[in-house]
Amino acid sequence: MGLPRHTWKLLTALLLLANVAHASLTVTARGSGNNNTAGTSLVCTPTSNMGVSGNNMGVLVISADNVAASGACCGISSTTVTDSAGNTWTKQLNKVYDPGAASAGVEMAIFTAPMPNGLSTSQNVTITFAASATAKTYAFWEVAAGTGNAANFVSAAASCDNCTTGQTGTTQTFTTVSLTLGDAVIAVMTCEGNPTFTADSDTTNGSWSSAQTNTAGSAGTGNGIITQAKVVNNAGTQTYDTSTSSSVDWTMGYARLNEVAGPTPTPSPTPSPTPTPGVVSGGNFFIFFPR
């Protein structure tokens, strides 16, 4: 005997929910850049076009000279930014590592934005600073969901919240919170200086992407960034490990994203057919009334 109709509906709904929970996000590198001119703004431009989809999420990671002293945060004054394509970016994380003076450490920030208008290589995001910063670097990522789903920002955290000691050297590491199967993690290490980077290559619950890196300025006063992404194929924490060719002051952070059911498009109404005018033939018609 077959299952009742309501049971089939319940099973179908459960299968759809399972598909959302376990579908894999796709993370694509969209390029990096730098600026080594003192100023209170940073113009960030992708090196490849970001897709036009409100279900995709753009991620912008930023590294810059710290502009205050003794761990004071933060120099980046932007909290929400509308880019030149009309997308709205929200600051999700902003921390510094400062061993004592302005421009002696590094500031890190992560912004995210749904991408209903896309972002091309001729468009940009402009980030403002409360005070002039010289060495600055950045990188873009695009996180895409499967058909009918949407990429969703979950959380962000740093290796240390505005510390003044403990993050200097040639090796850098931090560990995320426990992630869920299918989550995407975008990790970033930012530093003072102009080193050569060694990326993370571990394959625990998935493989890290190729690294995006950039530097600005000189070894003593410059700035650098390395960032990688991973979509996890099992639940658990992720440890992100990088190293540099010289000792640097550094701070690290990450953004966690997952996939959720996207908005259901409203179907266009089906126009009613135009009635065909009736034709009366035969010349006569009769109306009968009951007796």
Cis amide bond preceding 74, omega within 30: yes
291 residues of the chain, pLDDT tens digit each = 455 665 545 544 444 444 344 458 999 999 999 999 999 999 999 999 999 999 999 999 999 999 887 667 888 989 999 999 999 999 999 999 988 888 889 999 999 999 999 999 999 999 999 999 999 999 999 999 999 999 999 999 999 888 889 999 999 999 999 999 999 999 999 999 999 999 999 999 999 999 999 999 988 789 999 999 999 999 999 999 999 999 999 999 999 999 999 874 444 444 545 545 544 444 444 444 455
Positive/negative CA dihedral, 175, 189, 104, 156:
negative
How open is the CA angle 16-21-22, to the nearest 5 degrees?
100
Largest separation between any pair of C-alpha atoms in the chain = 111
Cut 0.75: pTM above it:
yes
